[in-house]
Structure 1
Amino acid sequence: MVLNEFIRLFERDTEKLKLEINSYSKEENLWKVAHNITNSAGNLCLHLVGNMSHFVGKEIGGFDYIRDREFEFAGKDVPRSELVASIEKLQNIVIASLEGLDENMLQKDYPLEVFGYKMSYSFFLIHLFGHFSYHLGQVNYHRRLLDI
């Protein structure tokens, strides 16, 4: 039951991320930085895909994934079509990973101590949702400020 809610929320927000990326009037604006805005929307998108692919796709769903966190923040000029394709792939992987997780596992310990302490799957999924939402908001704000 709770897993279905996580699925709906992640599905909703991956769709919102795809909409934000597609809403830029100029593809090159995805990579703009200015003033104190140091992360471009393109890099935030790469980061969200990398983070979720690793912590949900690989660790929960068992999907092969090798994370390149450095590229998430240093990579540039990935075509919009590739970003959108990676979001769509992520959406499928997250849904499949969570659909494959037994509801009883939510109270069990997540296999990694990401923050240096044990936490339940449920706690970490809530954290991941907050993290995703935070950066999704940054992408939205970035678009409204720098897509000019």
Structure 2
Amino acid sequence: MLTHTLIKLFSRDLSKLKEEINSYKYENNLWKVNGLVTNSAGNLCLHLVGNLNHFIGAALGNTGYIRQRDLEFSLKDVQRIELIKQIDDTIVTVQNTLEKLTPQDLEQEYKHRVFEKPTSTAYFLTHLAMHLAYHLGQVNYHRRLLDN
């Protein structure tokens, strides 16, 4: 079933995000930007957590999460331990929400119109997994670039 695959992929990549955040030698490097690298790893982490809690937790799991997208990019110097806690909480939210979805839920139109045309929930969840992977790659690159 697709939900089991998505749970594995989201859990894997969120765990890898946690590993990346923990791998920074110097915590203050999480918030640095350099030249064309305009998003810090800390802000990308906040963005991914906010994105998944909004589009999966709130929209599909009715968690009540209220997204403040502007803060995902404007907050600075959130402690590493807090970022890790938010990632761990997001893993639980994603797992709990996706476990409850049925094949019929996946076929239905996703609740929010995000793109120009409506999409199925399955399509949108796949998009979210790819979005996570894209930004995870940016965090990895950021760490290797700025943490040496």
Q: Distance in 1 between matches of 2:93 and 2:6?
A: 13
2:25 matched residue in structure 1: 25
TM-score, structure 2 normalization: 0.98
Counterpart of 1:126, as a letter, is: T
How far did 1:116 drift?
A: 3.2
Question: Runs (4+) of structure 1 moved beyond 4 Å?
Answer: none
Tell me the equivalent position of 1:77: 77
- RMSD value, Cα: 0.7
Report the residue type matching 2:123 in the other structure. F
Aligned: 1:138 with 2:138: yes
**What's the % identity of the aligned pairs?**
53
Counterpart position of 2:63:
63
Q: Distance in 2 between matches of 1:104 and 1:6?
A: 16
Offset, 1:101:
1.0
Unaligned runs of 5+ in 2: none
Where does residue 118 of structure 1 map in the other structure? 118
CA distance in 2, matches of 1:103, 1:32: 43
Amino acid corresponding to residue 32 of structure 2 in structure 1? K
Residue 100 of structure 1, CA deviation: 1.1
The aligned length equals 148
Q: Match for residue 97 of structure 1?
A: 97
Q: Which residue of 2 aligns with 1:48?
A: 48
Q: Which moved more, 1:84-93 or 1:95-104?
A: 95-104
Question: Which residues of structure 1 form unaligned runs of 5+?
Answer: none
Deviates more, 1:32-41 or 1:101-110: 101-110
- What SS does the corresponding residue of 1:114 show, helix, strand or coil? coil
Match of 1:59, SS state, is helix
Whole-Å separation in 1 of the counterparts to 2:36 and 2:12? 29
Cα distance in 2, alignment partners of residues 142 and 64 from structure 1: 32
Between 41-50 and 62-71, the greater mean CA deviation after superposition: 62-71
